[in-house]
Structure 1
Amino acid sequence: MKTRKIGALETSCLGIGAMSFADFYGATTEENSQAILDLAHELGVRHIDTSNVYGMGRSERAIGAWLRANPGAREGLHIATKAGITRDAEGNRRFDNSLAHMEVELDASLERLGIDCVDLFYVHRYQAEIPAEEVAGTMGRLVEKGKCRSIGFSEIAPSTLRLAHAEHPVAAVQAEYSLATRLPEMGMVQACAELGVALVAFSPVGRSLLTDHPIDRERIAGNPFLASNPRMMEPNYTRNLEIVAGFRALAAEMGLSAAGLAIAWALHRGDHVLPIPGTRSVSHFRELVQGAEASLTAEDMGRIEAVLPVGWCHGDRYSRTQWIGPENYS
């Protein structure tokens, strides 16, 4: 498995996005999540990316149970988690980047994971009322306390990254980045490369659009997030399926699954890009790893761009409600 650097640490070029361990895209079990972790470890995938809010701790507990069942596995792993999303007394979502909140949440994550320190701790949603430099300083104090080895931010703008990084080194920015979502190329890919920051790409297979088996309409209807996501709503969904048929055909011609080719494309966008696909399927995970091992030429990249040019995807990546929190810098 090829490697990438996150801060001063080196890890696999492919990670696991562990939101799928918490029923977000469909029902799963802890046994199934652990089977994926078993295979990942066998195949050399060492980065695990989770959050305190994935199933309200369920994802972290599944990872912690796997670590307990595999003594010694922690060595060599790169484990990341996040905090910063919370709820007020009325149940409304809000963001809290204060030291008191972030430290309490990190302590709870460490307990669920069964470890003393995470390798990377992200601000899951930046609280815009607080200067980015102050938030970075807050996160730096947790590094000083030995509770995390490095800090990161999720879904921020390049300008916010620069302000934060000037106060305390930012090891990683997590952003949605794929052939379906090219927004990071409007400054974030470049800023991360310039500053030596890893770009951790979530949803690198476009929430299944960039696979051989896109999620079906019945499952979309039963998933509150997808059912209200513009790209998964009609007529956008049908239009998107029609377009990605050409991508699936190209992948087959290249000897890869569509998901594998999507991962290979993401990795070829820069040595600092690290995709973290999520899955509940062991066989699908093998396809993703196949993409991490593929080599693409400039001609291959051109053919991919020809079938899925920038802006091909119909519908915004988030609904109005889903856009609350992420920084949109377009």
Structure 2
Amino acid sequence: MRQLGKNGPASFDIGLGCMGMSQFYGPGDDAESTRTIHRALDLGVNLLDTADMYGPYLNEELIGRAVRDRREQVLIATKFGNVKDETGRVVRVDGTPAYVRQACEGSLRRLGVDTIDIYCQHRVDRSTPIEETWGAMAELVKEGKVRYLAVSEASEQTVRRAHAVHPVTAVQTEFSLVSRDPQAGLLHTLRELGIGFIAYAPLGRGLLNGRIDADTRFPDDDFRSTLPRFGGDNLRANVELVDRVRELANRRGITVAQLALAWVLAQGRDIVPIPGTKTVARLEENVAAADLTLTEDELRLLDSVAPMGAAAGDRYPDMSGVDI
């Protein structure tokens, strides 16, 4: 178990990202997704990550149904702030106090719970002072509707401002062998302040699962078809990078995904990766990484094979919504 933040909850070493069960990675299968969630709980995984925008709304409803009889085993982390229109397109980021309360009430209803364990600001609203947003979030804690607060894709300065209003339990940001930006300063700040770190996309959105090659083409309902890292010359360069990682995985007799997750886990006991999956088989493969320990020589080799900035292409086609 790992503690999220100085005074936060205890999480199994690896959490479960549930986004892909309802959107972004092709069609979902609620029955298999429910089996995956139940198997995760059976294995000791207790952190389930979702957001109101996934679906939209469908993912929270799925998790609510899946854990209804096992609520005491689960840390439910959900997010707010990305507002979609009727077509499912994100039209704005909203951190206004009125919206914070409205969004929380909706999530509580869809999840079928009285309290959200970790409530996370999904993206920073640049038109609303972070102090106003976090003041409203702090009120939800006082009212017992939320236990802990978090923020996603926030700069060091923004984290400090939010933390001055109410303790930040965790910051959630993309982090993997191919997305190492948090090591440039964010992780140092979080450790200074006693804040935990939730690493989303620790398998590089599938790039590090070892099953994508240079000829892979993604259908229109898979949002990787829009991401710079997954097309053309960028994809070819990134597959070559993963092939170098694969050589070490083969020597260890483990999968590329397991090696990639073991690397994230080795970066600190304050880090909890939340690989996303919607199948029991992939879940079991991922969770097995919690039993792996990498040697110093292996960690140095991975640093040389996949140094910071080695991945080709940006994480998103438009990085303007990331508070960096």
The corresponding residue for 1:41 is: 41
Instruction: Find the residue that maps to 2:71 and give its secondary structure.
Output: coil
1:63 and 2:63 matched: yes
The answer as to whether partners of 1:256 and 1:290 remain within 8 angstroms in 2 is no
Question: What residue is the counterpart of 1:310 in the other structure?
Answer: 308
Q: 1:119 aligns to what SS in structure 2?
A: strand
Task: Confirm whether residue 83 of structure 1 aligns to residue 80 of structure 2.
Answer: yes
Q: Which residue number in structure 1 is paired with residue 3 of structure 2?
A: 4
> Kindly tell me: are residues 92 and 60 of structure 1, through their superposed partners in 2, closer, same or farther at Cα, counting changes over 3 Å?
closer
Identity of aligned residues (%): 36
Q: Aligned letter for 2:17?
A: G
* Equivalent residue number for residue 91 of structure 2: 93
The one-letter code sitting in structure 2 at the alignment partner of 1:298 is E
Give the drift of 1:86.
1.1
Query: Residues 108 and 272 of structure 1: is their aligned pair in 2 closer, same or farther, counting only changes over 3 Å?
Result: same
Asked whether the equivalents of residues 192 and 272 of structure 1 are also in contact (C-alpha less than 8 Å), the reply is: no
The residue aligned with 1:205 is 203
> Helix, strand or coil: the match of 2:301?
helix
What SS class does the counterpart of residue 51 from structure 1 fall into?
coil
TM, length-normalised to structure 2? 0.94
State whether structure 2 residue 322 is matched by structure 1 residue 326.
yes
**Contact 2:213–2:236 at 8 Å: present in 1 too?**
no
Q: Using the TM superposition, give the Cα deviation of residue 173 of structure 1 relative to its aligned residue in structure 2, in angstroms.
A: 0.7
State the Cα distance separating 1:3 from its structure 2 match. 2.6
Residue 299 (1) aligns with residue 297 (2): yes
The CA deviation at 1:152 is: 0.7
- 1:262 alignment partner, one of 260, 265, 282: 260
The equivalent of 1:150 in structure 2 is 148
Contact 1:204 1:266 in 2 (8 A): yes
- Residue in structure 2 matching 1:284, options 282, 288, 295: 282
1:10 offset after TM fit, Å?
1.1
Alpha-carbon spacing, 1:3–1:241, altered in 2? closer, same or farther (3 Å): same
1:241 and 1:312 mapped to 2: Cα distance? 12
Displacement of 1:309 after TM fit?
A: 2.0
Q: Which residue of 2 aligns with 1:109?
A: 107
Q: Distance in 1 between matches of 2:57 and 2:120?
A: 15
| Amino acid in the other structure paired with 1:49 | D
CA–CA separation in structure 1 for the residues paired with 2:213 and 2:54: 20
Other-structure match for 2:179: 181
Indicate the SS of the match to 1:314: coil
Shift in Å at residue 318 of structure 1? Answer: 1.2
Task: Give the letter aligned to residue 83 of structure 2.
Answer: T
Tell me which of the two structures has the higher relative contact order, counting C-alpha pairs closer than 8 angstroms and 6 or more residues apart.
2
Deviations 1:177-236 (A, max 9, x none): 111011111211111111111111100000111112127855524346212211011011
Change (3 A) 1:27 1:224: closer
For 2:249, the equivalent position in structure 1 comes to 251
CA-to-aligned-CA distance 1:70-106 (integer Å, 9 cap, x gap): x2x1113111101111147996611111222111111
Q: SS in structure 1 opposite 2:243? A: helix
For 1:235, what is the secondary structure of its paired residue? helix
Aligned residues: 322
1:23 and 2:23 matched: yes
CA deviation string 1:143-189 (max 9, x = no partner) = 11111001111111011001110111011111001110111112111
RMSD of the TM alignment (CA)?
Answer: 1.8
SS at match of 1:75: helix
Q: 1:249 Cα shift?
A: 1.9
Aligned partner of residue 202 in structure 2, secondary structure: coil
CA distance in 2 between counterparts of 1:86 and 1:55 reads 12
Is 1:164 the counterpart of 2:155? The answer is no
TM-score normalized by the length of structure 1: 0.93
AA partner of residue 210 (structure 2)? D
Query: Which SS does the other structure have where 1:280 is aligned?
Result: coil
Partners of 1:92 and 1:216 in 2: CA distance: 30
Kindly indicate whether the alpha-carbon contact (under 8 Å) linking 2:2 and 2:270 is maintained by their aligned counterparts in 1.
Answer: no
Structure 1 contact 88–94 (Cα < 8 Å) conserved: no
